Chain A
Amino acid sequence: MLKFFIQGILRDRQRSLLPIIVITIGVTIVVLLQTYITGVFDDMIDFNAKFSTGHVKVMSQSYYENMDQIPNDLALLETGELMGEIQDQYPGMSWSERISFGGLIDAPDENGETKAQGPAAGMAIDMISENSPEIERLNLENSIVRGKIPKTSNEVLLSDDFASKLKVSPGDQVTLIGSTMYGAMSITNFTVSGTIKFGVMALDRGGIIADISGIREALDMQDATGEILGYFFDNSYDDLKAIDLSKNFNELHSDSTDVFSPTMVPLRELNNLGSMLDLVGSFSGILIFIFVFAMSIVLWNGGLLGGLRRYGEMGLRLAIGEKKGHIYRSLINESIIIGIIGSVIGTAIGLFFSSLLEKGIDMSGIMQESSMMMSPIFKADITPTAYYIGFIPGVLATIVGTALAGIGIYKRQTAQLFKELQA
């Protein structure tokens, strides 16, 4: 029977060409959108996790409440002990201490007086200990434009744009003016070891990365840290695991009566990423619904046109005694095969274009004023879902379209058939 349907479709190409073209175009768009949007969202989540949120983040409760202000005066204390406990209790994760800081970077002239200055957004990470995963995590080696990664606690990396604005080069000295965790003024000299390109406008404007020991010294934060970031070892965010981990940690370590006690927060509750995660989760469903709806209408009309063209064929089949239900089912079966053929072709074309987009589209031109923590290179990401997602709207839309168009078969009157055929 299958062979019969396939032969019918191949021999009478006018019957199948339009539906296959419609399905191919629709499935190509579905696959392309799925890979592209998944890629952009996944990149955004991954970027936020690496630079800002971790997969989970530990902070003091009051720091968490005022996180936008980077309140280092509310930082966690005695973090050496806390880090030891966390590493023992949750060995399945990689833990890193970080300090976010703001301030003014001042570049001196030859007399030691201000040559240029600008506001800086800084991040202190462990850059000089052996086996620190942070340099690799933030892809710093590959982001270096000039100079090298800091080797000592008084060296820093500046964003290349910021360094150019301040007219400083690797080897030059800059001064960080900020405030200590106790609110005192902090003025500390650092040597620029290198400049980097973050690829994110918000950081390229005034970003600075320093070693955490140097910043602890500068901001009077010995044995203190703003944030402890936790990452799953496979570097992939697992929402349910992160939520469970946070619940467990907070039961053990959080004290609702002490605003300085630690609290663990999963990525979804930081940087408004929860809504993005939910959107990614429901995106495939939304995409399938839209395309099933749109393609069904086109294929319904295609089916009606085909029905008119095959009016005589249907009449003859009915006249020789074939049951209406049988004809209707055979049309549905044909449509399934057409749907599969269109979906295969559409998926192949969609994956081809997606693979071209894996290198990404550079949107930096239109994102110059953006302060979002995201890369301006928008890339597609081919996940296993991309291989089957197109088949759902592809096959479903042909079935729905044919089912609607085929209702006309039931309206044919047997008594009229021979008159129609004679005509």
Chain B
Amino acid sequence: MIIIITIISAFLFQGLLFAQPSGDEILDRIDKNMSADSRHVISKMVIHGPRVSRTVEAETWSVGDDKSYTEYLSPSREKGTKMLKLEEQLWIFSPSTDRTIQISGHMLRQSMMGSDLSYEDMMDDPNLRSKYDAKVTGSEEFNGTDCWVVESIANAADVTYQKRKMWVDKARYLPLKEELYAKSGTLLKKTELSEIKKIDGRWYPGKIVFKDMLKKGDGTEFIVDDIEFNVKVPEHLLSKAALR
């Protein structure tokens, strides 16, 4: 009898646990995992080109999705290159030319260092809940994990992707797979999150594979070596003076 009650309770509990939340609730939960007021990340990008693969290491400090500072640590050709993003503008400092170059507008959507990520992808940390309206369109399994299928349409003009389709882990609320679309409906990028870890009480991926659907190649792996959330970002790093 106890066994039957336990099984029924467990079944009901699971039902409650995975009761379908609204799209907006799911975005809220994703933001709680992925977004932070500030971050400090040491990362690696493995860019798979047609002939060779390259690994680029970087250290990034960011505040929300408006301010971000990145310094490239290796390889030698990129070492010392710094990028500063303030609002819609991006400055790149190149030590070999001793130049600070400003990149803005559509150039921010260009490939960064030959990867499948754009400058915007690298530096943005969008708060999904505030910029997208979402609805749950189904439930599917992805890589053996039960997921909500969520479609989000942008409600703000300043977003890079007009539509996002996500396969969100029902238990951990992370988009394990995502398809990013342009306003025209063209599929621009696909991402896959893996090596999920619990860091500072939130779930976070150790690896994100980006695939730019408009270019050939095997995609770019973004590997998080170390990440800290809600850290105090040194003030001087978020000004142009930090570039030189």
Binding site for B on A (CB under 8 A): 62, 66, 73-74, 104, 106, 108, 112-114, 117, 175, 177, 179-180, 182-185, 187-189, 220, 260
- Contact B50–A73 (Cβ < 8 Å): yes
- Contact A112–B114 (Cβ < 8 Å): no
- Contact A185–B81 (Cβ < 8 Å): yes
Cβ contacts A to B, 24 pairs, < 8 Å: A66-B216, A74-B51, A106-B101, A112-B100, A113-B102, A114-B101, A175-B94, A179-B114, A180-B77, A182-B49, A182-B52, A183-B49, A183-B113, A184-B77, A184-B113, A185-B78, A185-B114, A187-B81, A187-B92, A187-B94, A187-B97, A187-B99, A189-B99, A220-B77
CA distance A182 to B75 in the complex (A): 12
- Out of B75, B99, B216, name the residue touching A106 (CB < 8 Å): B99
User: Is B98 on the interface with A (CB-CB < 8 A)?
Assistant: yes
CA distance A187 to B56 in the complex (A): 16
- Contact B50–A104 (Cβ < 8 Å): no
Residues of A within 8 A of B100 (CB): 112-114
- Contact A189–B114 (Cβ < 8 Å): no
CA distance A175 to B99 in the complex (A): 8
CA distance A108 to B99 in the complex (A): 8
User: Is B111 on the interface with A (CB-CB < 8 A)?
Assistant: yes
CA distance A108 to B92 in the complex (A): 13
Apart from A177-B103, A183-B114, 15 more pairs, CB < 8 Å: A73-B49, A112-B98, A112-B100, A113-B100, A117-B102, A177-B101, A179-B114, A182-B51, A182-B114, A183-B47, A183-B111, A183-B113, A187-B92, A188-B96, A188-B97
- Contact A189–B102 (Cβ < 8 Å): no
User: Is B162 on the interface with A (CB-CB < 8 A)?
Assistant: no
Which residues of chain B from 94 to 143 have a CB within 8 Å of any chain A CB? Answer: 94, 96-103, 107, 111-115
User: Is B232 on the interface with A (CB-CB < 8 A)?
Assistant: no
Residue of A whose beta carbon sits closest to that of B110: A104
Q: Binary interface profile of B, 45-61, with partner A (CB < 8 Å = 1, else 0)?
A: 00101111010100000
CA distance A255 to B216 in the complex (A): 21
Secondary structure class of chain A's binding surface, majority of residues = strand
CA distance A112 to B78 in the complex (A): 20
- Contact B99–A112 (Cβ < 8 Å): yes
Residues of B within 8 A of A62 (CB): 50
Check A74/B50 contact, CB under 8 A, given A104-B107, A108-B99, A187-B97: yes
- Out of B101, B102, B115, name the residue touching A183 (CB < 8 Å): B115
Q: Give the distance to chain A from B120, nearest Cβ to Cβ, in Å.
A: 16
* Number of residues from B at the complex interface, CB < 8 A: 28
Q: Binary interface profile of B, 62-101, with partner A (CB < 8 Å = 1, else 0)?
A: 0000000000000101100100000000001010111111
Q: Give the distance to chain A from B163, nearest Cβ to Cβ, in Å.
A: 25
- Out of A175, A184, A220, name the residue touching B97 (CB < 8 Å): A175
Which residues of chain B from 186 to 240 have a CB within 8 Å of any chain A CB? Answer: 216
Q: Give the distance to chain A from B211, nearest Cβ to Cβ, in Å.
A: 15
- Contact B114–A260 (Cβ < 8 Å): no
Residue of A whose beta carbon sits closest to that of B94: A187
Residue of A whose beta carbon sits closest to that of B100: A113
Residues of A within 8 A of B115 (CB): 183
- Out of A177, A182, A260, name the residue touching B54 (CB < 8 Å): A182
CA distance A108 to B100 in the complex (A): 9
CA distance A260 to B115 in the complex (A): 21
CA distance A407 to B31 in the complex (A): 93
- Out of B50, B54, B102, name the residue touching A184 (CB < 8 Å): B54
- Contact B98–A179 (Cβ < 8 Å): no
Q: Give the distance to chain B from A48, nearest Cβ to Cβ, in Å.
A: 26
Residues of A within 8 A of B97 (CB): 175, 187-189
Q: Give the distance to chain A from B105, nearest Cβ to Cβ, in Å.
A: 10
Residues of B within 8 A of A220 (CB): 77
Q: Give the distance to chain A from B54, nearest Cβ to Cβ, in Å.
A: 6
Closest 3 CB pairs of A and B: A183-B114, A187-B94, A114-B102
- Out of A113, A180, A187, name the residue touching B96 (CB < 8 Å): A187
Residues of B within 8 A of A184 (CB): 54, 56, 75, 77-78, 113-114
CA distance A238 to B7 in the complex (A): 84
Check A185/B113 contact, CB under 8 A, given A73-B49, A73-B50, A74-B50: yes
CA distance A66 to B216 in the complex (A): 10
CA distance A199 to B75 in the complex (A): 42
Residues of A within 8 A of B99 (CB): 106, 108, 112, 175, 187, 189
The residue among B50, B54, B102, B113 with the most chain A CB atoms within 10 A of its own CB is B50
Q: Give the distance to chain B from A153, nearest Cβ to Cβ, in Å.
A: 15
CA distance A299 to B89 in the complex (A): 73
Residues of B within 8 A of A177 (CB): 92, 101, 103
Residue of A whose beta carbon sits closest to that of B220: A183
CA distance A199 to B113 in the complex (A): 34
Residues of A within 8 A of B98 (CB): 112
Check A183/B54 contact, CB under 8 A, given A108-B99, A114-B102, A175-B97: yes
CA distance A13 to B77 in the complex (A): 87
CA distance A127 to B81 in the complex (A): 31
Residues of A within 8 A of B78 (CB): 184-185
Residues of B within 8 A of A112 (CB): 98-100
CA distance A9 to B114 in the complex (A): 79
CA distance A376 to B129 in the complex (A): 53
Residue of B whose beta carbon sits closest to that of A66: B216
The residue among A66, A106, A179, A184 with the most chain B CB atoms within 10 A of its own CB is A184
Residues of B within 8 A of A187 (CB): 81, 92, 94, 96-97, 99, 101
Residue of B whose beta carbon sits closest to that of A112: B99
